[in-house]
């Protein structure tokens, strides 16, 4: 049986972690300034590549925040901890690793 209080704590901790990471990386996602005097062409290209990676990481964070929101909804609705595919209970160990999991191991692998 899934410990719903513990699941809620895991979700809140993951949400806080993602929001803190997002705030820390906000500066890195800003547009790269075109200043040929202080930054050479290759350095600017490196900065643009890093910016693109930071934006991709932020998109993943936002997707995870949506998954957390959905997990909170499932908690409220009494659906948390049950596989969306087969309806079986998702083991607490799997939810400890990924508190936003919506499928059991069998359905997630197939």
Are the C-beta atoms of 85 and 103 separated by less than 8 Å? yes
Looking at the domain assignment, is residue 34 inside a domain? no
- Structural domain tally of the chain? 1
Do 53 and 24 form a contact (C-beta atoms < 8 A)?
no
Domain hosting 14: range is 4-25+39-109
**Helices 41-77 and 4-24 meet at what angle, rounded to 10?**
160
pLDDT of 26 above 70: yes
Please tell me which residue, 47 or 78, carries the higher pLDDT value: 78
Residues 6+ apart with CB under 8 A from 47: 32, 39
Whole-angstrom distance, CA of residue 78 vs CA of residue 107:
20
Q: Please indicate whether residue 14 or residue 110 has the higher confidence score (pLDDT).
A: 14
**Is 81 a domain residue?**
yes
Report if residue 105 sits inside a domain.
yes
Does residue 93 fall inside a structural domain?
A: yes
Provide the 10 A C-beta neighbour count for residue 18.
18
Residue 30, in any domain of the structure: no
pLDDT at 13: 95
**What's the whole-number mean pLDDT along residues 7-24?**
91
């Amino acid at each position: 049986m899934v410990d719903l209080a513990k699941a809620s704590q895991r979700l809140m901790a993951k949400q806080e972690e993602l929001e803190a990471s997002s705030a820390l990386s906000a500066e890195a996602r800003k547009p790269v300034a075109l200043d040929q005097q202080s930054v050479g062409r290759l350095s600017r290209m490196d900065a643009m590549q890093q910016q693109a990676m930071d934006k991709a990481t932020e998109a993943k964070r936002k997707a995870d925040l949506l998954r957390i929101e959905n997990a909170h909804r499932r908690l409220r609705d009494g659906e948390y901890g049950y596989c969306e595919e087969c309806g079986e209970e998702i083991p607490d160990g799997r939810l400890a690793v990924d508190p936003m999991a919506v499928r059991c191991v069998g359905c997630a692998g197939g």
